[in-house]
Amino acid sequence: MEAKTKTTPKGAKTAPEHPSGDKRFKVLDMTMKRNQYRQDSLIEVLHKAQEAFGFLEEDVLLYVAHALKLPLSRVFGVATFYHLFSLKPGGVHNCVVCLGTACYVKGSGDVLAALEQKTGIRQGETTPDGQVSVLTARCIGACGIAPAVVFDGKVAGQVSPEAAIRRIEEWTKGSQS
């Protein structure tokens, strides 16, 4: 299967724009250039890609594979190995419930159950309207303030199921107004 995306030849002065004209590919170009297109920079590049695009869509994986001169299977293999990389789009808001031992012992399972019930989706999924993703992590290292939940990138400690539900309500109310 050949991709139609343009590759960036090594040593080119300026990277040709991605055919879609999407400027986010420039962020990737900069990252790869900064790492001299080394193949071992793949994970760093995928992190940047996820940051810029929200998730790792196939077009992005193809682009990176060509630029780093890696087989697509290798890039796909790395993208699917690590939990933090997502090949599906996430919601506008996301909450990550920590399921580490300390948080679990302190009831994060109940927090997750409450969130799943409130949103109607299971962990790892996004609500049909694309507003909220409910995710889990296996320990974010905030064990002293267990149970912990990360709401849109911000860590919150000693979260009760009620508090978690309230946050979802704030988010969904905001989108309705």
Interacting residue ranges for other proteins, rule: CB under 8 A: 38-44, 46-47, 74, 77-78, 81-85, 99-106, 137-146, 148, 154-157
Please say which residue, 15 or 148, places its beta carbon nearer to other proteins.
Answer: 148
As measured in angstroms, the least distance from the Cβ of 101 to other proteins is 4
Least Å distance, CB 175 to other proteins, is 25
Least distance in Å: CB of 153 to other proteins? 8
Indicate the residue among 22 and 57 with the shorter CB distance to other proteins. 57
Query: Distance (Å, rounded) from C-alpha 84 to C-alpha 103?
Result: 19
The C-alpha atoms of residue 158 and residue 150 are separated, in whole angstroms, by 11
Separation CA 137–CA 175 (nearest Å): 26
Nearest to 99 by CA among 134, 57, 139: 139
C-alpha to C-alpha distance for 154 and 159, rounded to whole angstroms: 13
Nearer to other proteins (CB atom), residue 23 or residue 74: 74
Closest distance of CB 4 from other proteins, Å:
25
Q: Are the beta carbons of 95 and 150 closer than 8 angstroms?
A: yes
Please, which residue, 60 or 131, has the CB nearer to other proteins? 60
Nearer to other proteins, 2 or 40 (CB): 40
* 123 and 91 Cβ atoms separated by less than 8 Å: no
**CB atoms inside a 10 Å sphere around CB 167:** 20
CA-CA distance, 15 to 85, in Å (whole number)? 25
Q: Decide whether 131 or 135 has the Cβ nearer to other proteins.
A: 135
Residue 153 backbone zone (phi > 0: left; psi -120 to 50: alpha; other: beta): left
Closest distance of CB 82 from other proteins, Å:
3
- As measured in angstroms, the least distance from the Cβ of 140 to other proteins is 5
